[in-house]
Amino acid sequence: MITTVILMFSGCSKAQETQQKKDGFLTDKNVLIVYLSRTKNTKAVATIIHKNTSGSLVELELENPYPEDYKAIVSQVARENETGFLPLLKTKIDHVEKYDIVFVGFPTWGMQLPPPMKSFLKQYNLSGKIIIPFNTNAGYGIGSSFQTVKELCPKSTVLEGFSTKGGIERDGILFVMEGEKEKQVQIEVQNWLKEIGLVN
């Protein structure tokens, strides 16, 4: 009788372990996806990540939004980067301590991490969490943005990030994350999440 009970418990344990392996690392993790998006390309990538990981999806908004004009925003961001100015965030995230994994998404601005994302990373205590950057850019790459994320999260574990080419606002090419491009990025994101061990 005792042997039967032990076998039953052993079976339950193995079944739970198998289910966890099937679901991947995210089974018992609370996930937050925070993103900044001007032309909606980063938003599209954030949405794809959300579909694969669930969790909470939050867009960063500013108390004083950037100008619509491209040249004006480039000039303003350049000044902010030079002076270290951190724009005030309109977005408020309650109980950030409950999240185990935080994805942070942003475009590359001036080959750097956008000031609003710096504001977020400095405003919230992300110590002990897993931080995962993702990025869209105009074809010039991530610049120093991923490195800056690591520097601003010294007490977090920063995993390998994801980057893809988005629009080229300078040339008037804005939202491109649709049709075949969207399908391609969906596959790339799924492969990336597997590579960093978050999903099977």
Stated as kind and residue range, the H or E segment containing 140 is none
Number of structural domains in the chain = 1
Residue 24's pLDDT band (boundaries 50, 70, 90)? low
**Which of 33, 49, 11, 13 is CA-nearest to residue 164?**
49
92 falls within a domain: yes
What the block records as the tokens of 167 is 């629009």
**Which of 135, 162, 168 is CA-nearest to residue 36?**
135
74 falls within a domain: yes
67 falls within a domain: yes
41/4: higher pLDDT: 41
78/6: higher pLDDT: 78
Host domain of residue 48: 29-193
Q: What is the pLDDT of residue 99?
A: 98
- Spatial contact of 90 and 62, defined as CB atoms under 8 Å apart: yes
Express each pLDDT in 70-92 by its tens digit. Answer: 999 999 999 999 999 999 999 99
Residue 21 backbone phi and psi in degrees, to 5: -65, -40
Residue 134 has a CB neighbour count (10 Å cut-off) of 23
136 falls within a domain: yes
73 falls within a domain: yes
18 falls within a domain: no
Express each pLDDT in 87-113 by its tens digit. Answer: 999 999 999 999 999 999 999 999 999
53 falls within a domain: yes
CATH number of the domain to which 169 belongs: 3.40.50.360
22 falls within a domain: no
Q: What is the pLDDT of residue 105?
A: 98
Q: What is the pLDDT of residue 140?
A: 93
C-alpha span between 21 and 195 (Å, rounded): 15
